C-alpha cells in the first residue's frame, strides 16, 4: 500500500506547527534525554541529508488521531522535494507513528514502519525509565546506517527491530539505588537464567567452543549469519550470556552484524597467551571480536568485553577505550579514547573457571553488607557489572555510590562519563565533566573532550 505524500504550502502549515531547525519537539513532561536525542537527530540529518522530525508528547491533541496528527505535522516538516521522516511518540495512548516521504518508501517500506510502531508499545509499557531513550536512539541510528548502506549497495536489508530486555524490570531495580545489590541478587539472576529456553540439540552440538580458535570464530560467524540470538550459545563466555539476557540480540540485528563483518574483511587475528583479538581494518563499522581461552583449553567469544573495552561511534567506527587491559596488546600503535584516565581492573584474577561470575558477584555483595561504607566494595560490584557482563545501567548506580563515599577518586568520574556516554544520559555525563574540570582544571584531554561535548550537546 502506497503512503500519502504530504506537500507543505502556506495554507496548510500554521506557524505554531513549524519545526525547529533540529527537527525536535518535546511537549511532554520528560526532558531528561532531550540533549541526547537532539544530537542524534542532528547527526542523522548531517550524514543522510534526510529531514528528520521527532515529536514527544504526553497525549494526542484533543479530538485528533495520531494518523491525523502525523499528516498535519508531516506537511509542516518540509517540502515534498526533500526526503523526510517523522516519528511521533504519544505516551498516554501508548502510540508511536512513523511517516515516510515517497522518496524513502523503498528503503523503509510500510510493513517495516508498522513493525517498528508495534515494537514501540513494548517499550512504552516498560517500567524502565530509559526504555523510551533506548528505543528512539536505536531506531534513529539504525535507520541512518541502513539508509547509507542502501545508497552504497542499492540493496534493502531487513532492519533490526529493537527488542526490550526481559531483564528491564531487574535493571530498573538495580538502578533505583542500592537495588537488589546486597539483597541476594544472584538468586534472582539464577531464576532469570533458568527461564532462558535451551537450544535445540543440533545447535547445542554445532556451537560448542573448541581448542581451535579459527573453528570457534567460524562457528560464531555462522551463528550471526543464522541469527541465533540465544544467551545459551555454548561458545559465548559466561559474561556474554548474561549480556545477551540484558540486551536481546534479534535475528535481524545479528544478521546485520554478519553483513558488516563480511564487508569488513579481511580480518587479522592477534593473540597474546590466552587472549585473542579478531581485528578488522580501521574505519570498519564493526566491533572487534574478542576471544579468550578457558582452563579447559577451549576458546570462547566475549561479546560483553567487546562493548566494555571498545566504543562504537554513531558513524559505525570502533575505537579502543583504554591504554591497558587484556586486549591492549592489539592496539599498541593507536591511541585510546580515555588514554590512562581509566585503568580497567586486572582480569587475570577473575578468569578462573572454578569461580563463576555469579559467585564473584555474590561475594562482592557480601562485602557491601559487611562494610556498607566501603567505597571499594561498591566499585568491585560495578566492575563485575561493567567489565564482565556489560550491565552498565546497573554499574552506574554502584559507581555513583562508590564516588559518594570516595569523592577524591577522579577515575570514577571518568568511568561514569564512559557509561553515561553509552546510555546517552547527557546531563549525568556533564555533571562528571564539570566535577573533573573543578578538580583537574589543567587536564588538556579533559578540556578538549568537554569542548567537543558542548559543541555537540550545547
The number of CA neighbours under 13 Å toward the Cβ of 180 is: 14
Specify which residues 301 forms β-bridges with.
Answer: 236, 291
Q: Counting Cβ atoms within 10 Å, is residue 450 exposed (0-12), middle (13-18) or buried (19+)?
A: middle
Specify which residues 278 forms β-bridges with.
Answer: 269, 289
Element (H, E) at 108: none
Query: By C-alpha distance, which of 402, 425, 424 is closest to 413?
Result: 402
CA 457 → CA 37, 76, 274, distances in Å? Answer: 9, 25, 41
Most distant CA pair in the chain, distance: 73
pLDDT at position 419, please? 96
The number of CA neighbours under 13 Å toward the Cβ of 410 is: 14
Geometric angle at alpha carbon 211, from 352 and 290, rounded to 5°: 65
CA distance 130 to 423: 8
Give one DSSP letter per residue of 192-253, joined into a string. HHHHSPPPPHHHHHHT--BS-HHHHHHHHHHHHHHT---TT-TTB-HHHHHHHHHS---HHH
pLDDT at position 247, please? 84
User: Is the CATH number 3.40.50.720 carried by domain 15-153?
Assistant: no
3-state SS class at 355? coil
CA distance 9 to 75: 8
Grid coordinates belonging to 170: 531487574
Domain range annotation of the chain: 15-153, 196-350, 357-457
Specify which residues 52 forms β-bridges with.
Answer: 85
The number of CA neighbours under 13 Å toward the Cβ of 375 is: 12
pLDDT at position 152, please? 87
Query: By C-alpha distance, which of 213, 214, 238, 241 is closest to 229?
Result: 241
Q: Which residues of 236-256 are buried (b: 16+ CB within 10 A; e: fewer)?
A: bbbbbbbbbbbbebbebbbbb
CA distance 410 to 440: 9
Grid coordinates belonging to 52: 528528520
pLDDT at position 245, please? 86
Q: Counting Cβ atoms within 10 Å, is residue 281 exposed (0-12), middle (13-18) or buried (19+)?
A: exposed
CA distance 182 to 388: 18
Grid coordinates belonging to 383: 566492575
pLDDT at position 153, please? 87
pLDDT less than 70: residues of the chain: 1-17, 79, 127, 129, 165-195, 314-316, 347-353
pLDDT at position 333, please? 78
DSSP state of 385: I
Question: How many other C-beta atoms lie within 10 A of the C-beta of residue 269?
Answer: 14
Question: How many other C-beta atoms lie within 10 A of the C-beta of residue 158?
Answer: 15
Strand ranges for 59-180 from DSSP E: 84-90, 95-100
Q: Is 276 left (phi over 0), alpha (psi -120 to 50) or beta?
A: beta
pLDDT at position 349, please? 47
Q: In this structure, what is the dihedral angle of CA atoms 252, 255, 256, 261, given to the nearest 10 degrees? A: 170
pLDDT at position 194, please? 66
State the CATH architecture for 357-457: Alpha Horseshoe (1.25)
CA distance 134 to 424: 9
Q: Is 108 left (phi over 0), alpha (psi -120 to 50) or beta?
A: beta
Amino acid at each position: 500500500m502506497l503512503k500519502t505524500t504530504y506537500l507543505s504550502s502556506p495554507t496548510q502549515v500554521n506557524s505554531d506547527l513549524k519545526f525547529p531547525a533540529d527537527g525536535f519537539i518535546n511537549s511532554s513532561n520528560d526532558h531528561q534525554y532531550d540533549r541526547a536525542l537532539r544530537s542524534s537527530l542532528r547527526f542523522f540529518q548531517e550524514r543522510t541529508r534526510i529531514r528528520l522530525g521527532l515529536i514527544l508528547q504526553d497525549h494526542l491533541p484533543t479530538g485528533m488521531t495520531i494518523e491525523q496528527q502525523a499528516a498535519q505535522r508531516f506537511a509542516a516538516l518540509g517540502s515534498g522535494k526533500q526526503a523526510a521522516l517523522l516519528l511521533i511518540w504519544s505516551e498516554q495512548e501508548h502510540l508511536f507513528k512513523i511517516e515516510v516521504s515517497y522518496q524513502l518508501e523503498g528503503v523503509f517500506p510500510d510493513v517495516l514502519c508498522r513493525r517498528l510502531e508495534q515494537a514501540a508499545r513494548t517499550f512504552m509499557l516498560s517500567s524502565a525509565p530509559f526504555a523510551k531513550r533506548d528505543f528512539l536512539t536505536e531506531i534513529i541510528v539504525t535507520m541512518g546506517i541502513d539508509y547509507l548502506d542502501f545508497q552504497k549497495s542499492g540493496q534493502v536489508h531487513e532492519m533490526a527491530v529493537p527488542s526490550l530486555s526481559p531483564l528491564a524490570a531487574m535493571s530498573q531495580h538495580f538502578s533505583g539505588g542500592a537495588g537488589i545489590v546486597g539483597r541476594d541478587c544472584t538468586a534472582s539472576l539464577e531464576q532469570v537464567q533458568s527461564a532462558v529456553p535451551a537450544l535445540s540439540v543440533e545447535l547445542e552440538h554445532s556451537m560448542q567452543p573448541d581448542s581451535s580458535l579459527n573453528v570457534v570464530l567460524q562457528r560464531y560467524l555462522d551463528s550471526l549469519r543464522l541469527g541465533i540470538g540465544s544467551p545459551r550459545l555454548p561458545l559465548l563466555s559466561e559474561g556474554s550470556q548474561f549480556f545477551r539476557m540484558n540486551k536481546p540480540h534479534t535475528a535481524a540485528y545479528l544478521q546485520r552484524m554478519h553483513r558488516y563483518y563480511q564487508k569488513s574483511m579481511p580480518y587479522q587475528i592477534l593473540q597474546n597467551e590466552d587472549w585473542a583479538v579478531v581485528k578488522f581494518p580501521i574505519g570498519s563499522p564493526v566491533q572487534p571480536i574478542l576471544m579468550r581461552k578457558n582452563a579447559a583449553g577451549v576458546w570462547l567469544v566475549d561479546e560483553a568485553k567487546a562493548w566494555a573495552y571498545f566504543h562504537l561511534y554513531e558513524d559505525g567506527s570502533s575505537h579502543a577505550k583504554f591504554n591497558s587491559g587484556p586486549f591492549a596488546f592489539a592496539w599498541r600503535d593507536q591511541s585510546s579514547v580515555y588514554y590512562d584516565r581509566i585503568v580497567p581492573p586486572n582480569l587475570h584474577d577473575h578468569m578462573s573457571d572454578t569461580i563463576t561470575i555469579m559467585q564473584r558477584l555474590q561475594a562482592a555483595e557480601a562485602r557491601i553488607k559487611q562494610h556498607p561504607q566501603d567505597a571499594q566494595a561498591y566499585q568491585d560490584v560495578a566492575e563485575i557489572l561493567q567489565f564482565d557482563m556489560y550491565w552498565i545501567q546497573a554499574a552506574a548506580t554502584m559507581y555513583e555510590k562508590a564516588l559518594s563515599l570516595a569523592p577524591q577518586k577522579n577515575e570514577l568520574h571518568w568511568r561514569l562519563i564512559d557509561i553515561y556516554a553509552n546510555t546517552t544520559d547527557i546531563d549525568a555525563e556533564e555533571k562528571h565533566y564539570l566535577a573533573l574540570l573543578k578538580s583537574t582544571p589543567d587536564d588538556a584531554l579533559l578540556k578538549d573532550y568537554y569542548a567537543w561535548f558542548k559543541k555537540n550537546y550545547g
